[in-house]
Chain A
């Protein structure tokens, strides 16, 4: 739908809406560019403080995905004053603050409105050197693809809603959703990578497709190498895949070729809509080993899930067993 709006162009606009990237980036001076992004959503867990933490980590992720450093934040709140006590709002905001503190990001204000349903998130400003912006458009043939968090939060959120997720599974999902992509972003800048995007609502397939389109390349994904949060596969096989993930799969269908031998359940999981997912990084194959080592040192998962290959036409993603 956004495609119908006219695009804005400016010589200092380094990343704008035309790129389906994670955030907008504008050059302010020769050595400073600002990253701007906003994200907010409805609760996916019952505990207000945990929800606040997840929403903040998810919003921050867009800055990290551009290789940036978050600077300031504003709260965005929709709150049903009539149906929920204000202590809930306080706890959500405290959760957000916990994570902002962890990210060395300053809360400078915010805006709230009354709404039938609770929603929370952040509007963020971050910084990056104009020459070191990591977009989703730089993937080159031969690059290795690395994913820094396991998939499955969409399935787990659905299972939590349905009362099918044991507490330890919920705790594991929360752990991943509140893990900042900060270390991964810093390592990316340290080593130098070609492209990056964070995995959120469109799932790995959707965001990989955006990267393939923006970079004018084709991505090959090895389904068996793609990490899943424990129990996700079991929960998916008893029908805990959310509607959004099916919609993602449908949306990507024409551009994705699935080879024989790939479990259809796994393809659904590759399309699983993620909340606060990891970074998908395309790195030059000569630097891949250095990146692996640096991520390992910071305890960031770094499975190599595929590579960038040549190819034109409608099929932009190839999923191998």
Chain B
């Protein structure tokens, strides 16, 4: 019979169930079972385990939740896309923007070209499904950006604008986001991997 460790977290308030699960999962190679007595703890423990690449299955018995957690065996277990409707079809075009300007050499020229690029993109609205903004390009989608109007126009045309949340945090401009939705690496990779074509300014 398989070895199995049980972590009883009944009666504990958050974040304790997660902390106990974290300790139990440390170096574990066999499944563990975590018992919690409320839905919130169940959600938290599941999210934690999944963030560690573990697989989680939940059995509810009366007011108790029994979570069986299989530790990571080297395969990331991210299962759900966090992107808003990230499902481009094979013919779709995704634009990937990773800098504030277009090209290198002259910054002012780069900024002018970026504005022209984003403006002209609206002519390709039928094909364009997503616009992804990462690294310094996150500054293009916040309040005060010189190209805000252009990006907003794309969004109005039905283009999904995804913005790297880590990048917004990095520049301390999360609160200023003015267009698009905050996204994450998994969703960005998923969108890129499903794209028919990827273009960059």
Contact = CB atoms under 8 A, between A and B. Distances in A.
B18 A238 contact: yes
Q: Would you list the 3 A-B pairs with minimal beta carbon distance, nearest first?
A: A224-B181, A246-B40, A239-B44
A105 to B, nearest CB: 27
A246 B43 contact: yes
A230 B40 contact: no
Interface of A: 150, 158-159, 161-164, 223-225, 227-231, 233, 236-243, 245-247, 250, 260-263, 265, 268, 301, 303, 321
Contact of B84 (A224, A236, A247, A250): A224
B14 interface: yes
A150 B165 contact: no
Interface of B: 13-19, 21, 38-41, 43-48, 51, 82, 84-85, 143, 165, 169, 172, 174-178, 180-182, 184
Contacts, number: 95
Contacts of B19: 162-164
Most buried by A among B40, B178, B184: B40
A239 B15 contact: yes
A236 B38 CA distance: 17
Question: Main secondary structure on chain A at its contact with chain B?
Answer: loop
A181 to B, nearest CB: 15
B53 to A, nearest CB: 12
A262 B48 contact: no
B47 A224 contact: no
A230 B169 contact: yes
A233 B165 contact: yes
Contact of B15 (A161, A229, A230, A231): A161
A239 B169 CA distance: 20
A239 B82 contact: no
Nearest to A228: B174
Given A223-B181, A228-B174, A263 B84 contact: yes
Contact of A263 (B14, B82, B143, B178): B82
A244 to B, nearest CB: 9
A237 B177 contact: no
A268 B43 CA distance: 10
B182 A233 contact: yes
B177 to A, nearest CB: 7
Contacts of B175: 150, 227, 301, 303
Contacts of A240: 14-15, 18, 44
A242 B41 CA distance: 9
B170 to A, nearest CB: 8
6 contacts: A231-B169, A239-B46, A242-B15, A303-B143, A321-B84, A321-B85
Nearest to A260: B85
Contacts of A161: 15
Contacts of B43: 239, 241, 246, 268
A169 to B, nearest CB: 10
Contacts of A268: 43
A235 B154 CA distance: 32
